[in-house]
Amino acid sequence: MRRVVLLLVVPVLLVAVLLVAGLAQAQVAAPDLTPAAPRFVQFDVQGFNGATITPDNPAALQWGGPTRFAIGTLQEDEEAAPAPTQSYKGNYGGLRWVSDRWAFGLEHLSVKHETTSDKESASSGHLSFQALEGLALGAGLDRTKVDSGTNSRNTEANTFGLSVNLKKVFFLGYAIGRDKFEDNSGVTGDRDTTLIGIAIRTEGTWRWHLAWDQLDKDNFDNFGGSGFDAKTLTVQLGAGNWLLGAQQITLDAKGNTIEVKANVVDFGWAPEKGGLTVTARLTDGDLSSGGMVVQTNKGRSITIGYLF
């Protein structure tokens, strides 16, 4: 009885603490309960978009069982008056394999503007291993490519991290990385990345995942700009075969007053003991400049997967 009370009360207390502390970025300490879902809050935010099958911190893969694969489709509509609504469509997919000591994940997301040649792709490959009981180390490589008109931009990110699993309930995560940028005109740049996060994640018929994470990317060394600080608060509940979750994302650009705020809702069928999964995601975000909303993005996606 005492354990049941703790499982219900502790998550509520943590949510209260997180709301006071602010919002933060996903899957740094422990993976989401959602099998897979796209993270696409704005076109051309290099180093942020992906399918979330590989956590931002590669070490967190170690706690991401069971093994799974997933594929999905997305659409996001962008409104910035007086311009007409812009639509982006895409697909994504990936694989996560988890054993007692090792884990790896692969994913790819591709998005294209509905009426122009603009397109964006993001690919990730992450590896982790359990160095000690409750301590995982990981390394990852992420690549993003954006084609817009005659311009082409590529970013490659190397990330190294650790994740601490305390009593299989509390998780702490930390990672560092380096991004390399190059475009087709010969402009290059480098920047540092830092990730921190805490989470509570429980298993069983009633499953909680509560997380506070932060991703910080500096401006590029050679030409400045493009740096941002992304923060996400995640609250997810698995009840038997059903899953319900919500996220709040805040992304602040460095060196200017641009800010993105997005709300995410996940729901669907994700059995505790594995099998076929079908989940949906709805996103609603605003881009502000100088405190004034200048663009609104609304997205939706469907993911089909299998948990082994």
Half-sphere exposure of 119 (CA within 13 A, CB side): 8
Dihedral of the CA atoms 140, 250, 253, 27 (nearest 10)? -10
Residue 62 has what DSSP assignment?
Answer: G
Average pLDDT over residues 81-95: 88
DSSP one-letter code for 50 = B
Q: Model pTM?
A: 0.86
DSSP 229: E
How many whole angstroms separate alpha carbon 143 and alpha carbon 152?
Answer: 13
CA dihedral 288, 289, 295, 296 (to 10 degrees): 0
pLDDT tens-digit map of 98-138? 999 999 999 999 999 888 888 989 999 999 999 999 999 99
The closest of 165, 166, 192 to 178, measured between CA atoms, is: 192
Could you tell me the pLDDT band of residue 29, with boundaries at 50, 70 and 90?
A: very high
What torsion do the CA atoms of 11, 14, 15, 19 make, to the nearest 10 degrees? 180
Over the chain, what is the mean pLDDT? 86
3-state secondary structure (DSSP) of residue 7: helix
Report the C-alpha dihedral over residues 205, 99, 265, 43, rounded to 10 degrees. 180
HSE-CB at 257 with a 13 A cutoff on CA atoms is 7
Average pLDDT on 47-72 reads 88
Neighbours of 291 (CB within 10 A): 7
**How sure is the predictor about 86, in pLDDT bands with cuts at 50, 70 and 90?**
confident
pLDDT given at position 9 = 33
277 token code pair:
């999964």
What is the pLDDT averaged over residues 255-269?
90
Instruction: Please tell me the predicted confidence (pLDDT) of residue 12.
Output: 31
**Model pLDDT, residue 36:** 86
Q: How far apart are alpha carbons 303 and 277 in whole angstroms?
A: 8
Mean pLDDT of 277-288: 93
pLDDT digits over 291-307, tens only?
899 889 899 999 999 99
**Residue-range domain boundaries for the chain:** 2-307
Average pLDDT over residues 269-278: 91
pLDDT range class, residue 30, cuts 50, 70, 90: very high
CA atoms lying within 13 Å on the CB side of residue 284: 4
Mean pLDDT of 258-272: 91
pLDDT at 236: 96
* Residues 6-28 pLDDT 10s: 333 333 323 222 222 222 335 89
Sign of CA pseudo-dihedral 278, 303, 287, 298: negative
Instruction: Express each pLDDT in 148-186 by its tens digit.
Output: 888 999 999 999 999 999 999 999 999 999 999 999 999
* Tally of CA atoms within 13 A in the half-sphere of 205 that contains its CB: 1
**pLDDT tens across 180-235, in order?**
999 999 999 999 999 999 999 998 899 999 999 999 999 988 876 778 898 999 99
Candidate CATH numbers 1.10.1510.10, 3.65.10.10, 3.40.50.2000, 2.40.160.40; the one for domain 2-307: 2.40.160.40
CA quadruple 49, 50, 55, 58: dihedral positive or negative? Answer: negative
Please tell me the distance from the alpha carbon of residue 158 to that of residue 246, in angstroms, as a whole number: 29
Place of tokens 């082994």: 308
pLDDT at position 3 is 40
* Residue 30: C-alpha distances to residues 172, 237, 252 (Å): 8, 15, 23
β-pairing, 292-307 vs 68-79, is: antiparallel
Closest CA to 264 of 228, 212, 299, 305: 299
Tokens of 125: 């490959």
CA 56/CA 33 separation, integer angstroms: 15
